[in-house]
Chain A
């Protein structure tokens, strides 16, 4: 795995850097930063406002967060690509590496673990050991069953991957906020949208 991983970074950077070093450098030296708490609290106020607006119908809140994330992801992918200029991933394994080591690092400064591959290699899980979105959060009793607090991340991943012609399903399967052991985010690749790959690419 490490050999294929350095392949990605080498093709894009032309140096001997691994993907991890490459994204650490971008995060450290090339990306403007704000206070993480500001971000966490802003997100918290969005979620709490949505819960009020939808009269604590958490299925609707989940859905709305997902849609908001989707719209963010479709735009954020441009930022990600402009920043990194990484080449197209030719396997889902590489995509998972890029998402965890590069995308999460640059935008949220965390590196989720990748694991739980399906036997057909078409789906994997991201384990968010630390989740900056859910700092200071304790779900109220009525929300604990239904609400996926960080559901916006699912939408972002869905939207961003769709813009690079990967049609995926993204959903949470467990969340520490709900009392689970881990926060697990499942990504399942449905198909590559071959027709939409822009002309001129190899």
Chain B
């Protein structure tokens, strides 16, 4: 699985970052990417509204059940991918994170009911969204419906989120919600995707 594109969408649905990793892949114009980002934002919102009836009922009954811990919702735990993006070999520092990897626990997805994954005949698209409303989107060059691939993508995108927290949020010249033009973020994201 190769990553073709990574997008970052801010909480109001605007595209703030887009980067292609496959040199001769078909390209959209930057305007079309903006439209794609806005559309995705809308689709995620719609998808979260159209839950199957059985799940709606199940959700209600568990809500009435009261003090179930939040684990009762269907947020899956994504297993730790040891090799993915680990920089043990290079020993390069991971920004404000201590190596060998950004995290080594399984984690719950914040995206419980929204759109997570789209497969087409040539590509698949993965969405990771954060508690603060930012969406990280990866487009891979292979169609896949494999749960493992979704887990891998979710790991990759959480690592992208870690890079975002380090190199975009800690850049004093970055203004919130504006397009990302941070060289270090570019570099590290390139390295992360390159290892895949």
Assess the A13–B69 pair: CB atoms within 8 A: no
Determine if A145 is an interface residue (Cβ-Cβ < 8 Å). Answer: no
Q: Chain B: interface secondary structure?
A: loop
A144 to chain B: which residues have CB within 8 Å? Answer: none
* A171 CA / B130 CA spacing, docked (Å): 28
Contact-residue bracket for chain B: 35 or more
Assess the B11–A13 pair: CB atoms within 8 A: no
Determine if A87 is an interface residue (Cβ-Cβ < 8 Å). Answer: yes
Assess the B169–A200 pair: CB atoms within 8 A: no
Question: Which A-chain residue is minimally distant from B134 (CB atoms)?
Answer: A78
Determine if A99 is an interface residue (Cβ-Cβ < 8 Å). Answer: no
Q: Known contacts A78-B164, A85-B103, A199-B114; decide if A11 and B108 are in contact (CB<8 Å).
A: yes
Determine if B196 is an interface residue (Cβ-Cβ < 8 Å). Answer: no
Instruction: Give min CB distance, B98 to chain A, whole Å.
Output: 5
Assess the A78–B69 pair: CB atoms within 8 A: no
* A32 CA / B162 CA spacing, docked (Å): 13
Instruction: Give min CB distance, A18 to chain B, whole Å.
Output: 13
Interface string of A1-40 (1 = CB under 8 A from B): 0001001101111110000001000000111100000000
Assess the A196–B133 pair: CB atoms within 8 A: yes
Q: Known contacts A7-B71, A78-B164; decide if A201 and B112 are in contact (CB<8 Å).
A: yes
Assess the A90–B70 pair: CB atoms within 8 A: yes
B161 to chain A: which residues have CB within 8 Å? Answer: 78, 81-82
A82 to chain B: which residues have CB within 8 Å? Answer: 102, 130, 158, 161-162, 164-165
8 Å CB interface, B126-147 against A: 129-134
Cross-chain contact of A15 among B105, B111, B112, B165 (Cβ < 8 A): B105
Determine if B88 is an interface residue (Cβ-Cβ < 8 Å). Answer: no
Instruction: Give min CB distance, A8 to chain B, whole Å.
Output: 7
A164 to chain B: which residues have CB within 8 Å? Answer: 131-132
B114 to chain A: which residues have CB within 8 Å? Answer: 198-201
Assess the B96–A31 pair: CB atoms within 8 A: yes
Assess the B133–A32 pair: CB atoms within 8 A: no
Instruction: Give min CB distance, B81 to chain A, whole Å.
Output: 14
Q: Known contacts A31-B98, A75-B170; decide if A4 and B132 are in contact (CB<8 Å).
A: no
Assess the B113–A202 pair: CB atoms within 8 A: yes
Instruction: Give min CB distance, B88 to chain A, whole Å.
Output: 14
Cross-chain contact of B103 among A15, A77, A83 (Cβ < 8 A): A83
Question: Which A-chain residue is minimally distant from B168 (CB atoms)?
Answer: A78
Question: Which A-chain residue is minimally distant from B133 (CB atoms)?
Answer: A198
Q: Known contacts A13-B106, A31-B96, A85-B108; decide if A199 and B44 are in contact (CB<8 Å).
A: yes
* A22 CA / B107 CA spacing, docked (Å): 12
Instruction: Give min CB distance, A101 to chain B, whole Å.
Output: 16
* A198 CA / B59 CA spacing, docked (Å): 18
Question: Which B-chain residue is minimally distant from A94 (CB atoms)?
Answer: B70
* A42 CA / B166 CA spacing, docked (Å): 20
Cross-chain contact of A12 among B108, B130, B162 (Cβ < 8 A): B108
Assess the B77–A81 pair: CB atoms within 8 A: no
8 Å CB interface, A81-110 against B: 81-83, 85, 87-88, 90
Question: Which B-chain residue is minimally distant from A6 (CB atoms)?
Answer: B69
A79 to chain B: which residues have CB within 8 Å? Answer: 96, 165-166, 169-170
Determine if A143 is an interface residue (Cβ-Cβ < 8 Å). Answer: no
Question: Which A-chain residue is minimally distant from B130 (CB atoms)?
Answer: A81
A199 to chain B: which residues have CB within 8 Å? Answer: 44-45, 48-49, 114
Determine if A163 is an interface residue (Cβ-Cβ < 8 Å). Answer: yes
Determine if A189 is an interface residue (Cβ-Cβ < 8 Å). Answer: no
* A29 CA / B70 CA spacing, docked (Å): 26
Assess the B103–A202 pair: CB atoms within 8 A: no
Give 4 new A-B contacts, CB below 8 A, not counting A199-B45, A201-B48. Answer: A85-B103, A88-B110, A163-B132, A201-B111
